[in-house]
Structure 1
Amino acid sequence: MTATGTLTPEKRADPGPELLAATPKDEVTSPARGAATPRRDWFDQIWNVLGSIRFGVVLIALTATSVFLGTVIMQAPGDVQASPELFAAWILGPRGRYGEPWSSIFEALELYRVFQSLWFRGLLALLSLSIMVNVASRTPGIIAVVRRPPVKVPTRFFSRAPLRVTVSFPVPPDGIRPQLATDLGRKGYRTIAWDDGSALAIYADRNRYGKYGTFANHLGLIIILGAGVLGNVTGWREDAFMVPEGTTRAVGHDTGLVLRNEAFVEEYFPNGTASDFRSEVVVLKDGKEAARGTIRVNEPLDVGTVRFHQAFFGPAVAMRVRNAEGAIVYDDSTALGFKYDGDGVTRNGGNFVLGNRQFAVFVLVPSASLQAPDPVIPAGSVRLEIFAPRQPRPVAVETLAQGEKREIVGFTFEFVRETQFSGLQVVDNPVVNVIWIGAALMVMGSMAVFHLPLRRVWARIETSPDGGSVMTLASAHVNEVLFAHEFAALGEHLAKKGGGKVVASVQPSAMGDRIEAGS
């Protein structure tokens, strides 16, 4: 039993002449009844899944969702992630913000450290692998388009192609074909002459190497994703490195760097909006000055592979704590860069640790979101909530006015003064240059694909009754409407150069209709 078949080109950039030229004589034989279908092995099945466009879309959607979650959910700073004690104190903030059971669910899913989690790195690696398989599957078809184009087409293609121009010349076919090949070559086309037995013909294409742009584009994307995974493993990022004015903070991550915030300056326009904010900083490495400068949002400071960006700023408070013997055990400023929800009110706050993790002290200031004064914390005061290790509720809650001293849980707390902190973004990415290379490849690949589209035309030249010749120029470009104007201009150009005349043309309109014209 036979069935009428349709020739379908594989991995074509356009429908191709084969599809248009298919005839009922093209037949294929159906498999015999009961014949065993070849069974694909597990490697083929995995390959097909990884190369599937649908699977790739799912991976992209999951990656985008993960990035969204990592943006809207509080992310633990790098030093907090590295220390179980610091994380136990930090997690109290998200618990107060999200409540239970969401806080515990987020912690179990590692949503407080999305970009450093193993599952996110695995997702990026799987997406990179899917892209590589997809490119590998398309490679033979792309190479075939470039190196082995469909030169010969059936005669009926020239009467069915969606784009056609008919030109009459006073010169016989064997005289006009070299002229047409030369003129097409000057337009940037590669030409291949062939005969179909009853007429002379030319195949011509332009921008064939632009198809390789897809390799550069996908290679650049793979490099960026791979560098992202490698950067997460070998590098680190602190999005909320807060240093109060006049204090020093260790950068950590085995860098040996310490940043001293010598001054923070903020300037405003007359309408009250910030015009500039900057930090005057000194960076020490192993106790010696390594760099000094002014950090702004778009003016980072580089120290080796570590880059410091000005990201935000906010209030801070200077606190002094003495033990029962009167010795100072804490004399520093606390950045109030976190948001805490309590009693239906959001307040700025921060925390510090006393002794050998003996107490975690949370410092809150009056809410700035209320129209009326804060009902719990008076203006010019701070609220101290002191937690013992592994205790969900504070062991003491006290409110201190500026300059006031008070004994709490065996320590004397003093609210010294209000100040400000600089919020910095600190990044160490040893593969940042690799990312730039990947980005450059993506840009170049995209430019090649979109600005160098493949153009293919076929010309058939027959002898006319008056001894001259008639050429039919045809194309089956996938973007017929976009190519139509260029194709019509090409027909006019060939007619003019060869001393001929356009006698008929067929091209699609923007509405999908065919427009036919003739002399």
Structure 2
Amino acid sequence: MFKRLYDFFSSVKLAIFLLLTLAVTSIVGTIIEQQQDPEKYLMEYGPTTYKILKFLGFTDVYHSWWYISLLTLLGINLIVCSIKRLPKIWKVAMEPRKTFPAGQEKTLRISSSITLKGRISEVKEKLVEALKNKRYKVEVSKEDEEEVHIFADKNVFARFGVYIVHLGVLVVLIGGLLTAVFGFRGYMNLAEGTMSNLVSFFSGPKIVELPFYVRCNKFTIDFYPSGMPKAYISDLSVIENGKEVLRKTIRVNDPLKYKGIYFYQASYGQGEAVLKIKDENGERIVGVAFGQPIKLAPKTYLRIVSLDGKTMSIGIKFIKDGKVREGVIKPFIFYQVPGTNKAISMVDFKPVFYTGLQVAKDPGTWVVWLGSTIMIIGLVVAFFIPHRRIWARIEKRGEDKVRLVIGGLSSKGSEGLAQELEEVLGVLKSSYCNNTPKEEEQ
């Protein structure tokens, strides 16, 4: 059973399937606007299509359970594939053959042999020095009076470039999962002088409570002569533990950021309701912009969604434990909130503009950037940095004569290795055999 699971998760076919599925669903998430108000989907697609899209999770692709599952499966597949193939690559990279037996040069794509005038120890030292100057790590693997074997390699880390890419992909996936699980995107509607810590989701009744409040000190909107909005600007303050800890005037594309949460100037609207809330502690007056919820009890909220201009009655949505119930509050008549000891009535309506803020928390952003950087580094290592190995054998052929056989392998760019060998041989020729011709080259 374990072997079957291991083979399944180490399958390249599974990786291709997951990547294609993620690509297709990401395209769907790009075509269909995400986390929008249900009414917008109903107007654009109609009730039946909207129900299908919502059931499939296409209105919030990147937070859907199946998208998170696909990311998780891809991560597991990548880890298992890497573990399965690591021993072979490790052996190739870290356990090379270091001696250079006679005839072995015939198996190498690049090899040369020359006869030099000099002692074997002198040629060895000069060869080692020349290879080190080329940034090779050099090792004398075998040495006696008749023969010396030298092994040199560089950029052994290039063999693991693909694993650096895998690591980068995994970090990107972790960033995506962090955003999918712990991130959110919603909105706040704040009239001047009001503050709230409640963020409503675009795609449903879910509401997030921030650990601080945001207050709208002033909202300014300018219009073109045609009536189209020219600019809207919000002067916002962050209130934490009863104190103002940050203040900023925001515009479109110039958000307020606090504790990893961004507040973007996104829209505007008109309408502020003044409510009277009565409970065992007495009565209090609260001003709230249309569309912005107020908290009545744990996991219990109320949101104003419409106004009847004739009767001045307001349409509300009562939200408790993620379930929505609609209702109407008439002027100066208390509405008993179900399941609570609170009653609410509307005492006034102000036709003032309110600022519409888009609120986003994306804890995986910097993780994704880090993963992307690692992935780029891995791609550079994997495609542009060659792992090169050189073997050399120095054979004694007399008192002052030796034969040098040298050859090498490169994971990529054999032309570069051939040039390096030519330069190394050039150094030796200039030192020991200015007039000695090269014997052979393969």
Q: Which TM-score tier does this pair reach, normalised by the shorter chain?
A: 0.5 to 0.7
> Could you list the per-position Cα deviations for residues 52-103 of structure 1 after superposition, in whole angstroms to 9, with x for gaps in the alignment?
23321222222233333333323337xxxxxxxxxxxx42321221225422
Deviation at 1:205, TM superposition (A): 0.6
* Alignment check: 8 A CA contact 1:56 1:131 kept: yes
Q: Deviations over 1:98-152 (max 9, x none)?
A: 2254222211112222222222221111111111112211221232233211324
- Answer 1 or 2: which has greater strand percent: 2
Matched, 1:206 2:154: yes
- Alpha-carbon distance between aligned partners in 1 of 2:121 and 2:392, rounded to the nearest angstrom: 13
Shift of 1:320: 6.3
TM-score, normalised with respect to structure 2: 0.67
Instruction: Give me the whole-angstrom Cα distance separating, in 2, the residues matched to 1:243 and 1:65.
Output: 38
Of residues 313, 321, 344, the one that matches 2:266 is: 313
CA distance in 2, matches of 1:226, 1:302: 23
- Flag the 1:298–1:242 CA change in 2: closer, same or farther, 3 A: same
Query: Structure 1: where are the runs of 5+ without partners?
Result: 1-41, 78-89, 269-273, 323-328, 335-349, 364-385, 390-410, 507-515
Q: Is the 8 A contact 2:189 2:354 kept in 1?
A: no
Percent same amino acid among aligned pairs? 21
TM-score norm. by structure 1 comes to: 0.59
Which residue number corresponds to residue 456 of structure 1?
A: 389
Change (3 A) 1:92 1:193: same
Instruction: Report if aligned partners of 1:318, 1:331 keep a CA contact under 8 Å in 2.
Output: no
1:345 is matched with none
C-alpha contact (below 8 Å) 2:35/2:185 kept by paired residues: no
Counterpart-to-counterpart distance in 2, 1:459 and 1:275: 76
Match of 2:438 in 1: 503
* Residue 493 in structure 1 maps to residue 424 in structure 2: yes
Helix, strand or coil: the match of 1:75?
Answer: coil
Judge conservation of contact 1:283–1:292 (CA < 8 Å) in 2: yes
How much has 1:276 moved relative to structure 2?
8.9
What aligned pairs does 1:24-423 form with structure 2 within 5 A after superposition? Answer: 42-76=1-35, 90-152=37-99, 155-171=102-118, 173=120, 175-194=122-141, 200-212=148-160, 214-233=162-181, 235-238=182-185, 240-241=187-188, 243=190, 248-252=195-199, 253-263=208-218, 279-285=234-240, 287-295=242-250, 300-303=255-258, 305-310=259-264, 313-318=266-271, 360-361=305-306, 416=351, 419=353, 421-423=355-357
For the residue of structure 2 that corresponds to 1:180, the secondary structure is helix
- Amino acid paired to 1:53: V
Structure 2 counterpart SS, 1:68: helix
RMSD: 4.8
Distance 2:210 2:52 in 1: 33
State the Cα deviation string for residues 258-308 of structure 1 (Å, max 9, x = none): 32233456899xxxxx999754211223654332123467765343x3422
Distance in 1, Cα, partners of 2:216 & 2:367: 32
Aligned residues: 382
Provide the C-alpha distance between the structure 2 equivalents of 1:317 and 1:298, rounded to a whole number of angstroms: 22
Per-residue CA deviations over 1:365-420 (Å, capped at 9, x if unaligned) read xxxxxxxxxxxxxxxxxxxxx8999xxxxxxxxxxxxxxxxxxxxx9998936x47
Amino acid in structure 2 at the alignment position of 1:453:
P
When residues 103 and 306 of structure 1 are mapped into structure 2, their CA distance, relative to the original with a 3 A threshold, is same
Partner of 1:19: none
**Pair 1:72–1:219, CA change in 2 (3 A):** same
- SS of equivalent to 2:58: coil
Question: What secondary structure, in the 3-state scheme, does the structure 2 residue paired with 1:55 have?
Answer: helix
| Partners of 2:186 and 2:119 in 1: CA distance | 75
Give the Cα–Cα distance (whole angstroms) in 2 for the partners of residues 426 and 358 of structure 1.
Answer: 20
Letter of the 1:47 partner, please give it.
Answer: Y
Mark the CA change 1:173 to 1:298 in structure 2 (over 3 Å): closer, same or farther.
farther
Q: Which amino acid aligns with 2:392?
A: A
Q: Which has the higher contact order (CA 8 A, sep 6+)?
A: 2
Q: Provide the rounded CA distance (Å) in 1 between the counterparts of 2:84 and 2:50.
A: 44
1:219 aligned partner, one-letter code = L
- Deviations 1:335-373 (CA, angstroms, capped at 9, x unpaired): xxxxxxxxxxxxxxx8999xx97995399xxxxxxxxxx
- 1:484 maps to which of 415, 422, 433: 415
CA contact (8 A) 1:247 1:260 kept: yes
